[in-house]
Amino acid sequence: VEQSYIMVKPDGVQRGLVGEIISRFEKKGFLLKGLKLFQCSKDLAEEHYKDLKDKPFFPTLIDYITSGPVVCMAWEGNGVVASARKLIGATNPLQAEPGTIRGDLAVQTGRNVVHGSDSPDNGKREIGKFSNN
**Alpha-helix runs per DSSP H in the chain:** 10-14, 18-28, 42-48, 58-65, 80-88, 101-105, 120-131
- The answer on whether 9 is annotated among ligand-binding residues is yes
Chain CA centroid to CA 40, Å: 13
- The answer on whether 91 is annotated among ligand-binding residues is yes
The residues, any chain, with a CB within 8 Å of residue 31's CB and separated by 6 or more, are 75, 76, 77
Tell me whether residue 115 is one of the annotated catalytic residues. Answer: yes
**Which candidate in 13, 30, 96, 115 is catalytic?**
115
- The answer on whether 130 is annotated among ligand-binding residues is no
Q: Does 66 bind ligand GTP (CB under 6 A)?
A: no
Q: Does 60 bind ligand GTP (CB under 6 A)?
A: yes
Residues that bind ligand GTP (CB under 6 A): 52, 57, 60-61, 91, 109-110, 112, 115-116, 118
For the annotated catalytic residues, the residue numbers are: 115
Residues that bind Mg ion (CB under 5 A): 118
Binding residue numbers for ATP = 9, 57, 85, 91, 102, 112
